[in-house]
Amino acid sequence: MSLEPTPTPSQPAPAVTAPPADVFLQFLVNLVNNGGQLKSIGVTLQMGGMLVSGSIVSGAEYFDRFAKTFADSLSDMDSQARQSVRTSLAELGDVFRLPQPAEPLPNYIHLADALFFTADGTPIAGQPTLWRGRSNAVDDFILGSMQAG
């Protein structure tokens, strides 16, 4: 005879929810998003068994850089079309050009010069790049960025 309750079809399985984002990390992102003298913060994020290291930049800076890099890669398009693509993508950063409120805290982190490492710190091949991720997907973080090699 078992003392464990027998599950019934009317009892739904408990919902698994992701833990909330680290409020301190979101605060740091908000500091950079608000501009001023603080343009970036070096950080290393632990996410699902790997490390992502780079500099937190504002959403505006991220989308400006992304727009330029992406539009410049469209070499088979004429310059006017590339400029149109660049302008459209850069506009995604316009929301970050306004003062950011204290609430709600930012849901996304934008890194420049991001490098990727295994959990033990071994670099994963690749050039520094732009990176965007959900703040609630970060398991842990440290201030300061890692260097490859």
Instruction: Give me the chain's average pLDDT, please.
Output: 88
The predicted pLDDT at position 54 comes to: 97
CATH of 23-31+39-98+108-143, one of 2.30.30.100, 2.40.30.10, 2.60.40.3880, 3.40.50.720: 2.30.30.100
pLDDT in tens, 42-61: 999 999 999 999 999 999 99
Average pLDDT over residues 68-72: 94
pTM: 0.82
Output 96-100 pairs: Cβ under 8 A, ≥24 positions apart. Answer: 96/33, 96/58, 96/59, 96/60, 96/63, 97/60, 99/34, 100/30, 100/33, 100/34
> 104 burial class (0-12, 13-18, 19+ CB within 10 angstroms)?
exposed
104-142 pLDDT, tens digit per residue, is 889 999 999 999 999 998 999 789 999 999 999 999 999
Euclidean distance between the first and the last CA atom of the chain, given in angstroms as a whole number: 60
